A = this chain, B = another copy of it.
Amino acid sequence: MAIAVGRKAQGEGTRKTILEAAVHIASAEGLEGLTIGGLAAELSMSKSGLFAHFGSKQELQVATVEAARSIFIREVIRPSFEGEHGLVDLWHLCDTWLSYVESGVFRGGCFFAAVASEFDSRPGPVRDRIAEIMKEWLATLRRAVADAQTAGELSNEVDPTQLAFEFNALELGANWAFQLYGDKQAFAQAREAMLERLHRHATRKATSLLPTLKKKRSPARR
């Protein structure tokens, strides 16, 4: 095979195109609101032509979740781990996530926040995969905390599970405020809360690695 464009390659290509659009739509309308006819229309394809790529709606949903995972890893996780696995990487990870949602690449904000809440009461392979992936994400967060401790940049008194929980919650909260109110300030509030925690538990040698905190509230009355 001389050139990478074969007869099959076109099929794979369309599949990728389909899934990219699918992630986009599902982040806003949900995986149930993601309709085969609508998706086909958006891509100027026939329903049956598109359908043939997946065989069932459920497989389309799973494939969409998988595609979203790839994007998330490529856009958020991988760019954050180019450093020395210390405090900076931990901060970078959270900051990148917030920036990614803030940039509005997906109409519906964080794909996983949206579909997790949609499927948390719908047993089945779709829900299971979503749960797995978000557990992966939480584990990545926890690992980043532990790495910062190993690097001697974060106090050992911090419970990585606890901090990961809090950071994840702040991210969900920022995403919620942005989606419901278009409130971009929410990202600043999430960053503020995260930095406050990181600064408080950073070791002396590491505290200079982080951005500085916002000035505290003016001590004036009221």
Please report the C-alpha to C-alpha distance between residue A142 and residue B88 in the assembled complex, in whole angstroms.
32
> Which partner residue on chain B sits nearest A159 by CB separation?
B217
**Given A107-B121, A121-B29, A179-B120, A169:B156 Cβ within 8 A:** no
- The answer on a CB contact under 8 Å between B216 and A157 is yes
**Residues of A contacting B: mostly:** helix
Give the distance in Å from the alpha carbon of A165 to the alpha carbon of B172 in the complex.
Answer: 11
Question: How many copies of the polypeptide does the oligomer hold?
Answer: 2
Q: Is the CB of A109 within 8 A of B120?
A: yes
Asked whether A221 and B156 contact (CB < 8 A) given A32-B33, A180-B131, the answer is: yes
Chain B nearest CB, measured from A135 CB (Å):
8
User: Does A103 interact with chain B (Cβ within 8 Å)?
Assistant: no
> How far, in angstroms, from A12 to B28 measured CA to CA in the complex?
36
Question: Given the complex of chains A and B, what is the CA–CA distance between A117 and B193 in angstroms?
Answer: 23
A93 contacts chain B at the CB level, 8 A cutoff = no
A158 to B113, CA, bound (A): 29
Closest B residue to A29 using CB positions: B121
Say whether A222 faces chain B, with CB atoms less than 8 Å apart. yes
Q: How far is the CB of A213 from chain B (nearest CB, A)?
A: 12
A217 contacts B170, C-beta separation under 8 Å: no
